Amino acid sequence: MAQENYETTDVVICGCGPTGAMLSAYLGRMSIPHIVIEKEPEITTDPRGIALDEDGIRMLQGIGIYDQIYSDIGTCMSKFKFIGGTEKILDKKPFLEMDYGTTEGGTGHVGFICHKQPILEKHLRDAMKSEFCQLHTGASVFEIREEGDHVYSQYNDADGFTHGIRSRFLVGADGKTGFTRKNFLEPLGIHMEQAHTAFYDETWVALNWEISLPNEKTHPDFALWRLGYTPEQVYDLFFPVNFRFVCNPERPAVCGRFGLPSNRLWRFEFVVRPGEDGEEMSKPENIEKVVFPYITHPGSRYGIVEDVQFPEDCIRVLRSRPFRFSARSCNRWSHGRVVLCGDAAHVFPPFGGQGIASGFRDAVSLAWRLVLLCRRQTVAINNHEEVLSGWYVERKQQLERSLAATIKNGEFVTEGNPIKIFIRDWSLFFMHLIPRWRRDFRLGYRKEGLVKYNHSPGLPFDPSHKGGLCLPQVYCKQLGSEKVMFSDDVLFSKEKKGLFQLLVYLGSVDELDVVRQSVSQIEEISKGEIRSTEVTYLIEDTGAKSTEATRDLLSIFRLATAEEFAQSSLCRGRPEPQYYDPLYLGNALEGNGFVVVRPDRFIYAACDNIVDLEKVIPNAVQYLHG
């Protein structure tokens, strides 16, 4: 195909799963033209990933679909219960419990939601829709080549016609077996390798059931009716709320509800033991042997003779498939102008719900860098490679942290040594007697706090001014208004054009006059990159009132309390915020009230006075201008 026949755009995204869709949504919000190529004609109906952590929730919020999270996509996962022993009992007392229904992680959100992936993807695609996005489904990329300042790609559309695209960058979000890595980048030396010292590589079977409720008319002989149980109570008995990590040394498993409560969806994953075949273990006869004991209760539990099994004809199998779970990451995530993200760049074991969330983090942190590179009219040779390598150097730090938490969960689940199990259980028993450690266990991986990157040359933040720390999110109210908002939505509203934003965090309204006069000079120093009209002022005092100094009310907010959030529409469908600390942001900043924030919600620099701010801004401008 002649080059003059190629359609031109800024970015091509191969793959429109969760990662590709999230990248597209953020590029669209920042006005970058792009084309998305997806080989499947429709969103898959197969619920694959089911867990999304608070970072993922925050990123859904960032593309404007927060209202759909609890009304359509999923529900709070609440507690993770780790249960031991070989008995097939799901409601036994756990030896470890983590509570992810609280609001302690610094994002303003609960720790995890359990979602129905097809619905999640539907809303992601709705968020993609804009004048800047073209989505081609049923289309397959078959050629990628890089020449000069562009990437040339060809694809066949759903009707079999061939098209060409010339783009400034191409992103492979097409999964671990996708064309971008397997056919283009692997011959160039990019390959998957072990991503963590505690290497994990096993085959598991993932099973999804849709449950319907039995009743006295449909199942008149079911033993629990005569004991007075209702259909809903029966459902709760056999498919209890909260997620279970079944630490059975004979066959580890993970199970729990997902999606909306009204969906009545249940996931059960179990390990395929050495010598077993994954395909065989996913067949009905083996599912009956492995899973049905967990939904069969001894009659003695209810004071009757016969055992009680949940009616099999009330179970519809949505999926039963083996998967290879491992912890692997590519040695490099980009080559020239071709980039990998999501499952194309790294894969996770199933124990921490980090697969989709990590792809989201890739997408959001990559999006603003692509915006930066696409906006530049002239750049130094290979400057894009420096920017992109800085991106995945940062991401690999966070990936390592996520993997460590995931593998630690996995070690609990898969431990088979009786001595280690004994030591683990008794150690945890005694450690729970100490309040501080008991709190740490409740927090789970959140006890580490928000991510802070370690600096190395080329990374876009100032380590001497708290740069590299993920900015906490809090609840706030605009002065003069009763509407509760998330601070991200204020800081990065769609109306703002600046790539980096300035947050000014103040103790009281009395400080406003002097500070606003000083900040008004920042726009000139930043060469227009940080706009004075877009500066956000946040007052720590939750009792702050509007005064003459706050006449420009649109940019001035105060912290809101947990009680105010609980009474707002933002709390609809989710638990009220437990253990929420409105001072989390102020404590994290440690008195540094002038904060330059990147679009991925990481701090570029935080200064305690305007003089230091004026010193760090030129460095930010130099990075932005290349």
d(CA 574, CA 566): 9
Sign of CA dihedral 610, 612, 614, 619: negative
- Residue ranges of alpha helices (H) inside 35-154 are 54-62, 66-68, 117-128
**What are the angstrom distances between the C-alpha of 71 and each of 74, 126, 183, 572?**
7, 15, 41, 8
Amino acid at 368: W
Q: pTM for the full model?
A: 0.93
**What are the angstrom distances between the C-alpha of 506 and each of 25, 445, 558, 590?**
33, 30, 9, 12
Helix (H) or strand (E) holding 281: helix 278-281
Q: By CB neighbour count within 10 A (0-12 exposed, 13-18 middle, 19+ buried), where does 352 fall?
A: buried
Contact 267, 255 (CB under 8 A): yes
Domain with CATH 3.50.50.60 in the chain: 7-73+116-197+327-402
Token pair in block for residue 480: 């003069």
Counting Cα atoms < 13 Å in the Cβ hemisphere of 258 gives 28
Sheet of 51-53: strands edge to edge?
A: 51-53, 112-115, 74-76
Q: What is the DSSP letter of 452?
A: B
Maximum alpha-carbon separation in the chain = 83
What residues of the chain score a pLDDT lower than 70? 1-4, 195-200, 349-353, 377-382, 406-412, 414, 416, 426, 429-430, 548-554
d(CA 439, CA 446): 11
CATH 1.10.357 is right for the domain spanning 456-625: no
Q: At 449, phi and psi to the nearest 5?
A: 80, 180
CATH code: domain 7-73+116-197+327-402 is 3.50.50.60
Q: What angle do CA 362, 366, 370 make, to 5 degrees?
A: 160
d(CA 208, CA 157): 32
Tell me the per-residue pLDDT of 173-189, one tens digit each, with 9 for 90 and over: 999 899 999 999 999 99
Residue 380 has what pLDDT?
A: 47
Contact 547, 559 (CB under 8 A): no
Helix (H) or strand (E) holding 604: strand 603-607
Mean of pLDDT over the chain: 90
From the CB of residue 289, how many other CB atoms can be counted at a distance below 10 Å? 10
Name which of 238, 253, 231, 221 is nearest 296 in CA terms: 238
Q: What angle do CA 565, 566, 567 make, to 5 degrees?
A: 90
d(CA 378, CA 573): 48
Residue 45 has what pLDDT?
A: 87
Domain with CATH 3.40.30 in the chain: 456-625
Residue 53 has what pLDDT?
A: 93
Residue 200 has what pLDDT?
A: 59
Cα 293 to chain centroid, rounded: 33
Tell me the per-residue pLDDT of 403-420, one tens digit each, with 9 for 90 and over: 777 666 666 676 767 777
- Beta-carbon contacts of 330 under 8 Å, excluding residues fewer than 6 positions away, are 181, 190, 191, 192, 193, 340, 344, 345, 346
